[in-house]
Structure 1
Amino acid sequence: MKKITLLLILMTISYGYSQNTIDFETGTTGAAWTWTTFIPEVNAFTDVIANPVAGGINNTANVAIITGDATGEVWGGLGIESGHPAGTPVVSPADMAPITFSTSNAYVKMMVYQVGFAAPVRLKFAGVTNASAGEVEVNNTVFDQWVELEFNMSSYIGLEQMDQIIILPSYAPRGSAHTIYVDNISFSALPPPPTPSDAPEAPTEDAITDNVISVYSEAAGYTQIPNDGFNDFGASTLTLETIAGNEVLKYANLDFTGLVFYNNQIDASATNTLHLDVWQPDNKIFRVKLVDYGPGPGPITEHEIVFTNPNAAEWVAYDIPLTDFPGVNTANIAQLILSKVPAGGDLYVDNIYFYDKFIPPALTSFSYDFESDLSGFDLGSNPGDVGPGTTLNQVVNPYSGVTNPDTSANINTSSNVAELVGINDASYTHPEVIIPEKLDLSAGDKGFSIMVRGPRSVPVKFKIEGGAAQDFDQTYTDVGNWQKLTYDFSSNTSSNNNKVVVFFDIEQAASGTASDDIFQFDNIEFGTLASLGTNNIEFETFKVFPNPTQNVWNVNTNKQVLNSIQIFDILGKQVLTLNPNASNVVIDATKLSNGIYFAKINTDKGSSILKLIKK
């Protein structure tokens, strides 16, 4: 790391530090240390100066000042660190006498004054061999006044002695130069961890109707099954605690524990969900593992579910589908293992039971017509899904009623439709809808259709997500008119997808004309292909050759009479029209430029789009 070294005060270095407050006063800790700033590119600077903003909670004489130029880096590139033998510059002995963190000193407070801005502040320590437990961040929302921030450094407990302090007083991008004052860094005992003051919500599952197998719960009507211990291994201590009149399990200082059923294996094969209520004072990773022993001795299969960043200091109800434990034989469950990462801290648990959760049957058909509202459709929420001008709204159908100028074969007379503005404002701009019941494509005969209207020809990608994701492309070519696009998903036999996504001209740049990036869509339908009507005649009824071609395309069919064929270029401009009234036709491509074209083929049974290539 590139650094600038600044010797603050030329005097004998004090290293008799013993967890005293770092107050930057003359002759006391901090003032005579060899501080180092980060990253010369931001012209970082630090010094010990007379307190220029004395008042409020801080009237001490001296403070540390840290300044840095503007930067777009998220982490700000601004910080100071004290000297120690394992650092740069090498200071021996260390500015800060080695300290071993424990519960009696791991609560660190620091006064900060951010001039004209408020940003997160981070604190870090490094050990005698440069080991560290990393930075701890506190979000500051106060500017132009002294504020005391509190840092829980309990993650350093049990590590080697620390002899360096690192302060990052502005952990954010800066549009202008920042100035920060720091003072009065103190060490005190950790406050006692919070404990639950309320009980979890009582279970609502019926013991009989929902086939409840209760491992631990006081719910009315539940009968607890036999067990062989609720804390069979691990270093935690198990006690029964009464909270708001409700008895719960408390695992103190949990690393991992096992609720075991060696001689009374759980047969949960008639259920589909594991429920448990959990309260923990922190948001450490929480893990749940099921182990089945099968019909014989010894572990057979196991699987663990990991919950990252769970809510802290509140009851969290987990309803885990047993299908999330692949490979586990739920007829022979012998262990339920709970653990926290990193280890340590308490865990309260209640209402542990298996049950047969009612799951609404997956849909075999649906229709969205946008007559009353957007029917749950919304813009995507991931990076790259929405641009600065992207909107999704319900609008009046410009082509409806008896005055509809749309002369296509699939006139849309709906009163209201959905409109997506800015289809290329971002790479993956799209509307989407969540379908809680999920989609049942298991019959192998399903598809989707959508009506589209826009100012130019674009590919329209229709995608299903959430399970066995799949997508297909069709091209909108009937510029200015409503066109029905049908997508054949019969190759997908899944029943676990729960999202529909539609992309218009995916990953392409904006057209440059705002009005050319506004598209409307309507009447999204899911069902059997036979029920969706036609814009697509099944492609196997056509033979197109050669494709690509240099001269002509031959289109043959033995099943349909080709009433008319319209040829469009990639921009949606019609370049050729034929009226063969026959089952075979030759399309002359000699006068067309090389590129991609789309043929809209109209028959008595509907229309279909074919992609043609001229080389």
Structure 2
Amino acid sequence: MKKITFLFVLLTISLGFSQSNLENFEGAAPATNFFDDNGGGQINVIANPDTANAINTSATSLEIITNASGNAWQGAQLILQNDIMDLTTNATVTVDVYSNNPTDILAKVVPGSGGSGSDSATDASHGGTGWETLSFDFTMPRDGTGAANGSYQNIIFYPLWNTVGGTCTSGCYSPYGTPGVSAMETIVIDNITAVAAAPAETCSDGILNNGETQVDCGGPNCDACPNPPSGPPTTPPNRAANDVVSIYGNAYAQAPTDGFQTFGSAVVSEIDFSGNTILSVTTPDNGSGLQYQYFGTTPQFLDLSAMTNMHIDFYFEGSPAAVGTVFIVIAQYSDGTNIQKNFDVTALASNTWHEMDVAFAAFDGNPGYPRDEIQQVIVQVAGDDGAQVGPFYLDNLYFHNNTLGVEEFETSSFRVYPNPTKGEWNILSNSNISNVSVYDILGKLVMSKQPNLNQVSVDATSLNSGVYFAKVEGVNGSTTVKLIKE
């Protein structure tokens, strides 16, 4: 057992300092620039000049051509966009270099915007035999720099360096190290390999960088980018005015309120979809949310005594919620008692609308309490970790009396039979039925069908006995019917 543990530790350490190919020029090329070249240097992504060799068989490489009219110390700089070099422990960078002429090359690493070390330069020699793998050891600094001591985003290649391994005080660049006296040199590089370090935090710099999919968001390092709904949820069914009390939404007239508040640092705004508005809510703190108040309206309280159900549509952006988060809706009674329903949303799909329609009898707190003196309707988030991840969106928060029973339903344009049933319900309509969604009493969708016919059969054999609600949609709108499974 001790031997196994010891080997595991060694393997872990070895992997921790392993090198990665940070740039192979096969995808999008990194940002580059040539300097001190008098405008004539070239950096080009080209086809591999020799794919028959045993060192580098990749399809594309980077060509660097110096300008004979530029300064001898002209250089080509590459800015790594994703992984950057960590030279704190292993300070060696290997590069495949192609040249048909013997040449010396100076490489210099610079921290750039994503690194943290001091500039460091070192050199290596190429034998002029085509592709060769050169090792640049930055513990052996050159050109007046110190040893590498951190992380680096930029690497610069100086093809006209001419003093590998020596102490250079002047004439370090061919042919003479004199300004304006240079030479024409072509090298091709590929497969820049070093220990990779995670880029520094750039998620608030206002720049699209380090793999971000949008400025300061997305990619491997930043929070997910905003992904709000592309439209509102399904329009609620037509209901008589005395069968619904609307808190928020465009489908029904909203009940008069004498106040709207946020709490716990919540931020609320509206998004307008051609006149159909929804609420966008950000809740950075545990228990934060919003509330509608009914203290001074006429009548003073919100009377929900004739209502049987509460309805809410919500949409979570990104991850639905932090682990353990519960989405809570509360109706606070005039004596301070909460009539409360909790929704555990951690397992729900993100970036889609969820429709919850729940009977008061299924509420978690005080389900049988009188509902004739409601002073506040509250929506909040509570979680084990104390934080909500990502904004969420609300629409169609209302209470209703689910009056579409069997008798009323059969006299309308829809008819359902048998109801109750032990096997299946048959739904008939005078017009095309486009969608049927069946929910249990807790508002959970248990099945849906898209018949596009005037008649549809709904198999209830797999359902437990109890009450269900079917939302039937067609060309003339939608309606909800109560179904009973025996």
- For normalisation by structure 1, the TM-score amounts to 0.23
- For normalisation by structure 2, the TM-score amounts to 0.28
By relative contact order (CA 8 Å, sep 6+), the higher-ranking structure is 2
